[in-house]
Each structure stands twice: as structure tokens, then as C-alpha cells.
Amino acid sequence: MNAPIQTRNTRQKDAIRAAFIEANRPLSPDEALTLAQRELNALSIATVYRNISNLVEDKWLIPVEVPGHSTRYEVSGKGHHHHFQCNNCGTLHELEGCDLHARPKLPRGFKYTGHEFFVYGICAACAK
Ligand SMILES: [Zn+2]
Ligand SMILES: [Zn+2]
């Protein structure tokens, strides 16, 4: 039994999980660090990377690939949806559902399996 270390690790993981739940949008490791530090000041970026990779293994987080940007992570278990990226501050936001119901026109013999779609603009905070 190594209670003190277990407790510290659990607190770190809890703080990082809380950051993702509170933000309610995909976060980069840097963003997760800033938010989680409000709860646990002593967190380091290395700890955040390690916990994110554990949470991805646990399937609690899933990576969100952003064209031309570093990978963000979001809480798993949501239905098919898309993302909005702010051109000014770079934050990623979740869009509800999907309006792309039309099947794209594919070459003969090709099979459709899915699509990727990003929306760009200015977030409410930056638009003020
Ligand atoms: Zn913005
Ligand atoms: Zn879609």
C-alpha cells in the first residue's frame, strides 16, 4: 500500500478530469493544465500529458485531430458531432449534432463510411 502517492495521483487525475468537464469543449494539454491548476496549483505539463494519455487508454477522453493544429482531447461518449475553431484565439468548441445528411457523390464502386468537417469563425468571447 502506498497511500500518499495514490492519493496524490488520484487528486491530479480528478483535477484534470474536472478541467475537461468544466470546460465542456475539447482542450489542448496546455489549456487543460491552465484550468486544472486552478484546483491543483502544483500540476506540471508532464503530469497533464501522462494523465491525458491514461484517460485516452481508459477511453474516457478521445483525441480530436485539428487540421494544422495540435491534437485536442474531449470527453468520450458523445454522439457524432462537429467542431468550431476560433480564428482569433484558436479555441475549439463543440457543435451539436450534424446537418450533413446528404451523401457525398462518390466515384463508382466507392463506399461511404463517414466524414470530417470543421467550422471556422470568431468565438463569442473574441467577438465582443
Ligand atoms: Zn476566440
Ligand atoms: Zn457529421
The phi and psi torsions of 29 (rounded to 5 degrees) equal -55, -40
Average pLDDT, the chain: 92
Ligand 1 midpoint to CA 106 (Å):
35
CB-count burial class (<10 Å; 0-12, 13-18, 19+) for 26:
buried
Question: Quick one: 71 and 92 in the same domain?
Answer: no
Residue type for 105, please?
K
Q: Are residues 94 and 68 in the same domain?
A: no
Q: Which domain holds residue 27?
A: 3-75
Q: How confident is the model at residue 117 (pLDDT cuts 50, 70, 90)?
A: confident
Is 45 in the same domain as 70? yes
- Please report which ligand is nearest the Cα atom of 97: 2
Number of domain units in the chain: 2
pTM value?
0.84
User: Which residues are near ligand 1, the ion (C-beta closer than 5 Å)?
Assistant: 86, 88-89, 123, 126
d(CA 119, CA 21): 22
From ligand 1's centre to the CA of 125, what distance in Å? 6
Is the pLDDT reported for residue 2 higher than 60? no
Please give the distance, rounded to the nearest whole angstrom, from the Cα atom of residue 91 to the centre of ligand 2.
20
